[in-house]
């Protein structure tokens, strides 16, 4: 019996600790704002990604490595 209670306590703690909150469809007001986007400025994000792969010769997917010139 003691083991069941402990298991239930662990399960409850795990379920609560996930911190999951369901955002209702009509509560996406703030999430829909442009500044809440992963890349609020797509042009700026593209430019930075280009500099990154040119300098590092690695990138998070999308194109091949470069030699540092930024021309590919």
Partner 1 sequence: MMAFRALVLFATLMICLPSATASALEAGDRAPAFAAPSLGGEGMVELGKYRGKVVYLDFWASWCGPCLIAIPEIERMRSEFPEDQFQIIAINLDQAEKKALRFLEKNPIGYPSASDPKGRLPEKFGVDTMPTSYLIDRDGVIRYVHRGFSRGDGSRLREEIRALLRTPKLGKK
Binding site for partner 1 (CB under 8 A): 1, 3-4, 7-8, 11-12, 14-15, 20-22, 24-30, 32-33
**Distance between CA 68 and CA 61 in Å, rounded?**
17
Residue 29 CB, nearest approach to partner 1 (Å): 5
CA dihedral 58, 64, 70, 72 (to 10 degrees): 180
Minimum CB distance to partner 1 smaller for 20 or for 43? 20
Quote helix, strand, coil % in the chain, to nearest 5. 50, 0, 50
Minimum CB distance to partner 1 smaller for 17 or for 69? 17
Minimum CB distance to partner 1 smaller for 5 or for 69? 5
């Amino acid at each position: 019996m003691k083991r069941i209670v402990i298991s239930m306590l662990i399960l409850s703690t795990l379920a609560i600790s996930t911190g999951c909150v369901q955002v209702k469809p009509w509560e996406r007001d703030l999430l829909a704002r442009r500044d809440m986007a992963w890349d609020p400025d797509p042009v700026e994000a593209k430019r930075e990604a280009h500099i990154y792969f040119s300098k590092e010769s690695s990138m998070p997917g999308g194109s091949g490595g470069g030699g540092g010139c930024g021309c590919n």
